[in-house]
Copies of this chain bind each other. A is one copy, B any other.
């Protein structure tokens, strides 16, 4: 079992990344930093005769990497009560992968994966972040991906996430669980 972490944050060593790395400690994971990639917004070409065209960016390389793993960890700061625009643009492009012969059966591949969400926000995230969790429920539900759990942490200042004892506990527990599963 192998793990890909898809980082949606835009700040190096932010609280979200910190919490995520704690949950991934000593695990062999492939870290994918969306902020370092060039991913264009989806252009909806579902109904155009020519269909989706190659966007000439890094999306294809990244989704190909993602598909090589069994467990996907979506790590995103909560910006404006939702995932980052960077993460959203990445997910929007899945509509293209659904119709991309180079990918093959995208939905079927995604349906065999397990997903986790780790998110940190500053404004009552355990309440105001719930709609975002529900969106991930719908996203994974559409794909058939098994939504195995999520951790919502609260932090504002850099490093502050270590003070959210429940989030830290949950990250350590997830770490243990994944260690047992990947042995």
**A contact set with B: CB distance below 8 Å:** 9-11, 14, 35, 41-45, 47, 77, 79-86, 88-92, 94-95, 123, 126-128, 130-135, 137-139, 142, 147, 149-150, 157-158, 165-166, 169-170, 173
Contact = CB atoms under 8 A, between A and B. Distances in A.
Contacts of A138: 80-81, 123, 128, 131
A38 to B, nearest CB: 11
A56 to B, nearest CB: 16
Contact of A89 (B42, B85, B170): B85
The listed residue with most B CB atoms (<10 A of its CB), out of A35, A81, A83, A94, is A81
Copies per complex? 4
Contacts of A95: 79-80
B128 A130 contact: no
Label chain A's interface by main secondary structure: helix
Given A41-B85, A85-B42, A80 B166 contact: no
A35 to B, nearest CB: 7
Contacts of A11: 43-45, 47
Given A79-B92, A173-B166, A133 B130 contact: yes
